[in-house]
Amino acid sequence: MEEEICPCGTGKAYKICCGAIHKGKVKAQTAEELMRSRYSAFTKADGDYLMRSYHSSTKPLSEKKEIVRWAKSVTWLSLLIVAKTKGTVNDTEGTVEFKASFLENGEVKVIYENSYFSKEKGHWVYEREN
């Protein structure tokens, strides 16, 4: 059986890349790793992980079902990391600029965002669009 390649674009097997983060076996070490794991969670429509990876002050719990419904309704194509600032293992904040491409109703669309990440209780979390 062929191993599933992680949708985040690292080329690694999903189970040792974002899959391990989604299951809580390891935590994202950098803001970029968290960004990649969130993209992969969208491709898997993993609403539980998406909610866990939000900062407590910005978590949209009431929107979870809608986020999952939308994530399932599109075909995810690719993630491109454009730039990043800080967000290393030793930092407490950082940004990741990215483009996430997907197919919706037969049309290719792109989410372009510069996301702000911070550490909360020692873990990287998504806080907001920067």
- What is d(CA 98, CA 76) in angstroms, rounded to the nearest whole number? 14
**Distance, CA of 78 to CA of 65 (rounded, Å):** 23
Is 25 exposed, middle or buried (CB count within 10 Å of its CB: 0-12, 13-18, 19+)? exposed
> Which of the four pLDDT bands, split at 50, 70 and 90, describes residue 61?
confident
* Residues 95-120 pLDDT 10s: 999 999 999 999 999 999 999 999 99
> Using an 8 Å Cβ cutoff, are 51 and 58 in contact?
no
Q: How far apart are CA 44 and CA 82, in angstroms?
A: 23
- Domain 14-129 in CATH 3.40.630.30? The answer is no
What are the structural domain ranges in the chain?
Answer: 14-129
Is 1's pLDDT higher than 70?
no
> What is the average pLDDT across 75-92?
97
